[in-house]
Structure 1
Amino acid sequence: MRWIHRRRGKIGDAPGQRAGATATEFAIVLPMFLLLVFACCDFARVIQFRQLVANAARVGATRAALNRFTEATEADWRSDVVDVMREELSNLASVDPADSVIGVSFRELPSGVRVVETEVTVPFRTVVQWPALPKEIQVHHHAEFHQFR
């Protein structure tokens, strides 16, 4: 008779008591686990988003630094740089190109070297509305290179 009690659990436990405890523990742990999973997903997304925005600014600054321009070709130069940055931002599936703010400028140093600057600002929207955190943040990156040649 002793082996029967060992298979059921402790002597005195009701047959479904352990299953009820497991269900209660699961009901307590599941919301915390899901919160952790969604927080990790949003954190990973914002890191990836930030990296792609930085890449777009650097790609634009590289293109701007490699191509010289004159007063007559400045508009085409700006257009080319902006197109390259928009193409890089197209790797972000969740980005509407109309939402992005792209800037291209340059300045002359006293030594005669031209420094080109690019700026990209794109809104990032979280998957979950987190308490005390905004639903949307502006991801911004600024890059500048000395113009070559």
Structure 2
Amino acid sequence: MRENRGRAGEGPKQRRGSALVEFAIVLPVLAILILGALDLGRGIMVQHALQEAAHASCRVYSVRDSTQQDAADMVADAMTRAAVAEYATTYDPPSKGDIDTHMEAVTVTVTTPFSTVAWLPPLYLSGATITGSCTLPADLGVANDTPPAVDLSIDDHGGDGNMRHGDDDD
């Protein structure tokens, strides 16, 4: 037999108010979690855009016939596409003239404050910066546009013009 746990007359009508109160308590928490996840996703997207911009700019900056302005144009184009208005770019070495050896490390770093790309007011991570960086070897090439001489000769014949492959004295 079923036991009656409430008073007579209590039923679904009396529970409607409590469901509304529970919903009112849960909704703001759920909204904050969803908006926070969207803002975090935006930050990750911007970090990826900064990384790609640094990589493209570093590729341009590391080759012989390019200028620092060419590399800066690559970053500006990528930042326009990512809707990032405020950013800073640093180059190491700071000028193309400072790259003096082939395969020297060249680094391009692009940074932006998180507060400038966040969709929500920066209540958290207000002082954080997002960074993308790339390091590649400098490809100076040959200064006079002629390929370097490569010795392809193989000295395997002992000087008499006959190749020796073993001791086959037949």
Q: Secondary structure at the match of 2:22?
A: helix
* 1:40-79 aligned within 5 A: 40-65=37-62, 67-69=63-65, 77-79=67-69
Query: Which residue of 1 is the match for residue 168 of structure 2?
Result: none
* Deviation, structure 1 residue 11: 5.3
* Deviation, structure 1 residue 108: 5.0
Structure 2 CA distance for partners of 1:130 and 1:26, relative to 1, 3 Å: farther
Mind listing any 5+ residue stretches in structure 2 that lack a counterpart? 1-6, 142-170
In terms of Rg, which structure is larger? 2
Residues 81, 104 of structure 1: 8 Å contact kept: no
Amino acid paired to 2:20: A
Query: Which residue of 1 is the match for residue 135 of structure 2?
Result: 144
RMSD, matched Cα: 2.4
**In structure 2, what is the Cα distance between the partners aligned to 1:21 and 1:87?**
54
Query: Which TM-score applies when normalising by structure 2?
Result: 0.65
1:91-124 deviations in Å (ceiling 9; x for gaps): 222x21xx21112233658x74332211111122
Residues 102, 138 of structure 2: 8 Å contact kept: no
* Deviation, structure 1 residue 16: 2.8
Query: Which residue of 1 is the match for residue 18 of structure 2?
Result: 21
**In structure 1, what is the Cα distance between the partners aligned to 2:122 and 2:128?**
12
Mind listing any 5+ residue stretches in structure 1 that lack a counterpart? 1-9, 70-75
Amino acid paired to 2:18: A
Residues 105, 118 of structure 1: 8 Å contact kept: yes
Does residue 123 (structure 1) correspond to residue 113 (structure 2)? The answer is yes
Return the structure number with greater strand share.
Answer: 1
* Deviation, structure 1 residue 130: 5.9
**In structure 2, what is the Cα distance between the partners aligned to 1:89 and 1:144?**
19
Q: How many residues align?
A: 128
Query: Which TM-score applies when normalising by structure 1?
Result: 0.73
**In structure 1, what is the Cα distance between the partners aligned to 2:105 and 2:126?**
36
Amino acid paired to 1:17: Q
Amino acid paired to 2:37: C
Return the structure number with greater helix share.
Answer: 1
